[in-house]
Amino acid sequence: MKVIVYIARLLVGALFIFSGFVKLVDPIGSQYKFQEYFSESVLNMEFLIPYALPFAIVLIVAEILLGVMILIGYKPKLTVWSLFFLTLIFLFLTWYSAYYNKVTDCGCFGDAIKLSTWETFYKNVILIVFILLLMLKVNLITPLFKGKIPKLITFVSLAVFMFLVQHVLTHLPIIDFRAYAIGKNLPEGMVYPKDGSIPKVHDFMLEDEEQDLAPELLKKEKVMLVIVYNVDKVDAKGFPAIKDITTKAKEKGYTVYGASASFTDDLVAVKEKHNLPFDFLFCDETTLKTMIRANPGVMILDKGTVVEKKNWVDVDEIEL
């Protein structure tokens, strides 16, 4: 039985650490996912939407920290019960998504691994079986280290996780699993897979009042896109830095456009207020949020390949 408990402990801990880590490096993605869950068409809890980011951070940090704690055997009773209640939350959300077909991707593994809603639900069913075993045999969960070492590892881990959250929120995800990551070629991502599924890059359009300029821009060598997915939610402190880098880019021969889902009148007002040296094109808001976790942010393309991405706080690091 000790061997079975040890294997269950190892599997549960590893899964929670992996699942937590792929979301920890991109908490904004989890924020968007909880906003979707809280929306009127899903759980109808719109009053929670403004708290989606702190809710996501707490859940992510709890998930990965509990994974560490079960592996090292720190406070096993507290850890196992916490794992049980956390998994119950995941179980309900994934069942709800699958049964009502409300959220087609629960985001349990961030953008790293995509599972269907029912696959995710069954994964959680198996997971909770292992956790129930650990609850029944919690007395067999012993610390891997003596003394205060497990406690020290737990608190150091918590500090590291909180530092990583702050870092990626200030800058960008340290690992980008999306189809718009640096090095990805967008035209290649638009090709339909042989199985007929939706391409990884879809709904990518950059429209002016007359046409979609995306096909033309994806052929150019030096293209800079300023992503402002929503002017009502933009960090206006970033516009002076955006103005500086886009002015330099145009002097270096770059084609520069803004990309936003906001109304034209609002974009014209922003351009005039901050004296921005570029025009805005329309793009779907979800696509823009997927492209870069910044508002505003900068993406540089070279013949359709993403060669640079920066949050506005780091645009001075861009080498033109």
What CATH number was assigned to the domain covering residues 186-317?
3.40.30.10
Tens of pLDDT, residues 110-136: 566 677 778 888 888 999 999 999 999
Both tokens of 85, joined, read 């209640």
Element (H, E) at 279: strand 279-282
Amino acid found at 144 = L
Residue with tokens 């990583």: 164
Dist CA 292 CA 313 (whole Å): 13
Please list, in sequence order, all residues whose beta carbon lies within 8 angstroms of the beta carbon of residue 11, skipping any fewer than 6 positions away.
130
Q: Give Cα 159 distance to the centre of its chain.
A: 21
Residue 105: other Cβ atoms inside 10 A: 16
Strands 297-302 and 223-227: antiparallel
Query: Cis omega before residue 54 (within 30°)?
Result: no
Residue 223 forms beta bridges with which residues? Answer: 255, 301
> What tens-digit pLDDT sequence spans the chain (320 residues)?
888 888 999 999 999 999 999 999 999 988 998 888 888 878 888 899 999 999 999 999 999 999 999 999 999 999 999 999 999 988 888 888 788 777 666 556 556 667 777 888 888 899 999 999 999 999 889 888 888 999 999 999 999 999 999 999 999 999 999 999 999 999 999 998 888 788 989 889 999 988 999 999 999 999 999 999 999 999 999 999 999 999 999 999 999 999 999 999 999 999 999 999 999 999 999 999 999 999 999 999 999 999 999 999 999 999 98
What lies within 8 Å, CB to CB, of 137 at 6+ separation is: 1, 5
User: Residue ranges per domain, the chain?
Assistant: 2-170, 186-317
137: DSSP letter: T
